[in-house]
Amino acid sequence: MIRSIRFIALASSLLAAFTLTAQQSAAQQNNEHQEFAVTIGALSGTNPSATLGPLALGSGFALQANYARKTRDLKWANLYWEVNGLYNPLRHLSGFPPTATSAIHSIYVTPGLRLQFTPDEKISPWLAAGGGFAFYDSSKSGLGGGAVAGGTANTGVVDFGGGVDIAMGKSYLLRGDVRGFYTGSPNFDTANSGGQFNFVISGGIVWRFPK
């Protein structure tokens, strides 16, 4: 399963890089632009499939930064190449066994593509998808209060989602988005099967500037 996730993530990254290179000529148009967005929200997800469970993973604060570059104007949408980064400083675990880690924090880096509909309107919905890498760090404190191994786990990640941008002028927009991330399993310090699905609901601001 983890090998499949890594393969999909690598394929998505290569597709995004190929699309960016192929559109260099279109990128020279005067109406082309770049974007930088910052959003904040909450990261939640499914509970681990722990063999000795039940083990529950709580939600936590999430900060996202997104850089995007328009590569093509379509009749009904604009195509962007983007890199999305998400940072979650802490999510607590609860349940059983007491030797499982008590908390994790995570970082996702996912290059991909975004399709922006009705780009010339005040309200512009969009869809995005990509793949990259997830970095997990587990606490060395266990649920029972004792010390556990903890440590890091690096896996592939597939990213998909959508949102809405609301224009506040030529250079600034408000953004609301929902993104899902499917990764390999973090290190929970207990036997666990399957991957980990997480999703974030966030809002923030976008700064649009010329190339």
Domain-embedded: residue 135:
no
Q: Are 208 and 172 in contact (CB under 8 A)?
A: yes
Side chain identity at residue 134, one-letter code? A
Domain-embedded: residue 120:
yes
C-alpha to C-alpha distance for 134 and 68, rounded to whole angstroms: 20
Number of domains, the chain: 1
Nearest 5°: the CA angle 36, 5, 90 is 55
Domain-embedded: residue 183:
yes
Write the CA distances from 33 to 67, 78, 162, 210, integer angstroms. Answer: 11, 11, 20, 4
Domain-embedded: residue 91:
yes
Q: Are 29 and 74 in contact (CB under 8 A)?
A: no
Domain-embedded: residue 151:
yes
Please give the residue range of the domain that contains residue 168: 2-25+35-129+140-210
Domain-embedded: residue 134:
no
Domain-embedded: residue 48:
yes
Domain-embedded: residue 92:
yes
Provide the residue-wise pLDDT of the chain in tens; the chain has 211 residues.
555 555 455 445 545 544 444 344 333 333 558 999 999 999 999 999 888 879 999 999 999 999 999 999 988 899 999 999 999 999 999 999 999 999 999 999 999 999 999 998 999 999 999 999 999 999 999 999 899 998 999 999 999 999 999 999 889 999 999 999 999 999 999 988 889 999 999 999 999 998 7
Side chain identity at residue 177, one-letter code? D
Q: Domain with 184 in it: what CATH number? A: 2.40.160.20
Residue 147 DSSP class? B
**Whole-model pTM?**
0.83
